[in-house]
Structure 1
């Protein structure tokens, strides 16, 4: 009798496992990223502690199409354009959380976390530091880093004009930077690889110091070089936001919005340069900063 009961128990356990197998097999979060980009690697590392779900890493160039076809994940996370192209090859109808891309595809599976530079925050902070601000000079090389019409309109609502300049030839830079000599002007540097040439950056900072024109950037390293402030995206904060959305999505399913904006920007202030430019920094702004230089 005892052997029969044991046999029934084993059969029951096997039946339970068979019934639950699809759920267990799907209980994975696939994370697509590029292993040669430090921001991606660090974000993935921090993501491990931001969710209790099983993470399966799918680096670009090391993830086969046969794996993508093998079984569906429960959810997918994508960092960057190359990883997005890989993830979209999945045939499964699962939600794909996408970050660090310029423009999300129209694929209905995609949930977009917008990590574009927070231009509205930057303009508001500039106005707080420099109330008489009238013009923001915005140079760029690559078209996708040009300020959009929406940003121009929002700036106009605060009485600020965006002076857009496309740098197609470095020889044009000295003439274009004459705008910095005009009063009530500031510079906004986008995360454009074409601008991130040492000669270009140093020329902009030199002109900025001569005319005491504040420069806004996107990285802490540029703040150290002389930018007055930057709103910085860190791997830890990005992983925290991704983890929250993953947990929400698995609990709420289809009720989540298809797009939202990243909000955990860290403010880095260069109070030394601000003081040299005779710009007063309110205490509440100093307190909101992660680091001061």
Structure 2
């Protein structure tokens, strides 16, 4: 349950500078969503009134009432984003936080927003991920990906980035999570490293163990996208933490124009961390940074 005290503390109802209002809608009450909302709301509280709600406590009529001029709706996570766009908002501006780019671009209903929506993606820009792989695995040439239909729209950009990095993408596609096991069987013999992307049809609670075990058995390093995946057995990950995503959202929201609803273009977070599973790295014979100074050098090369 989302604590009443936490909600009360985060609902800053200060006098708005220009008459706008911010409504944050959390997909669920998990700590990551709460951290994003806290970082976002605390920074905007002096500028606009801020209201925070949990998606499952709202009826469709509640969301429809938010859809008015001079309102900024901030869905946090894919569930809140999809439900909100499913109601075809016509007046409010929408700034989505913590959604994968593939899920955003595959969603219908965004074409009519006319510059009134923006996103801070939860995933990393693909060139950043490839740069990380190059530093961790200098000899890696073949990078494996499994993509669902939600990600196919990004394939051309992926291929362009990999060509620029001097790497070859080996790609399998799946329609449902049930296809992941066979896709892994076909993929692993042909790659030097497997890169996970935030895609619930590929990586979810029912497939993650299968992916990690199958890769480890064939000594193929897995690059994850969260601290949890690294703890579970991925050798490393490039991660943008919830508070960083919240701060990036604030940077966009400060340019929101309540009069027109206009928002800046969508973006990835500029802040990121490198995390490693040192036990897995050691078992794969990989050398990883040992101290903060070396980590800093890696991050600088990836910018």
Shorter chain as denominator, the TM-score bin is 0.7 to 0.9
Q: Which has the higher contact order (CA 8 A, sep 6+)?
A: 2
Cα displacement (A) at 1:239:
1.5
Give the total of aligned pairs: 263
Q: Deviations over 1:129-157 (max 9, x none)?
A: 111111111124x3113452101111122
CA RMSD of aligned residues (A): 3.7
Determine whether 1:29 maps to 2:29. Answer: no
Matches within 5 A, 1:188-199: 188-197=195-204
Match of residue 77 from structure 1: 74
Judged with a 3 Å threshold, the aligned counterparts in structure 2 of structure 1 residues 285 and 154 are, in CA distance, closer, same or farther, namely farther
C-alpha distance in structure 2 between counterparts of 1:256 and 1:167, whole Å:
34
Q: Which TM-score applies when normalising by structure 2? A: 0.70
Contact 2:136 2:287 in 1 (8 A): yes
Cα displacement (A) at 1:250:
5.6
Cα displacement (A) at 1:217:
1.1
Choose from 24, 42, 46 the match for 1:49: 42
Match of residue 4 from structure 1: none
Match of residue 5 from structure 1: none
Match of residue 177 from structure 1: 185
Contact 1:32 1:87 in 2 (8 A): no
Match of residue 64 from structure 1: 62
- Unmatched segments (≥5 aa) in structure 1: 1-22
Judged with a 3 Å threshold, the aligned counterparts in structure 2 of structure 1 residues 166 and 48 are, in CA distance, closer, same or farther, namely same
Contact 1:228 1:274 in 2 (8 A): yes
Cα displacement (A) at 1:176:
4.3
SS state at 2:43 partner: coil
Match of residue 286 from structure 1: 295
Choose from 256, 259, 268 the match for 1:261: 268
Judged with a 3 Å threshold, the aligned counterparts in structure 2 of structure 1 residues 65 and 192 are, in CA distance, closer, same or farther, namely closer
Judged with a 3 Å threshold, the aligned counterparts in structure 2 of structure 1 residues 24 and 41 are, in CA distance, closer, same or farther, namely closer
Contact 1:228 1:269 in 2 (8 A): yes
Moved more, 30-39 or 272-281: 30-39
C-alpha distance in structure 2 between counterparts of 1:221 and 1:65, whole Å:
32
Moved more, 259-268 or 280-289: 280-289
- Unmatched segments (≥5 aa) in structure 2: 1-14
Cα displacement (A) at 1:41:
3.9
Judged with a 3 Å threshold, the aligned counterparts in structure 2 of structure 1 residues 59 and 205 are, in CA distance, closer, same or farther, namely closer
Match of residue 4 from structure 2: none
Cα displacement (A) at 1:82:
2.9
Contact 1:68 1:90 in 2 (8 A): no
Contact 1:33 1:40 in 2 (8 A): no
Match of residue 10 from structure 1: none
Cα displacement (A) at 1:87:
7.8
SS state at 1:117 partner: coil
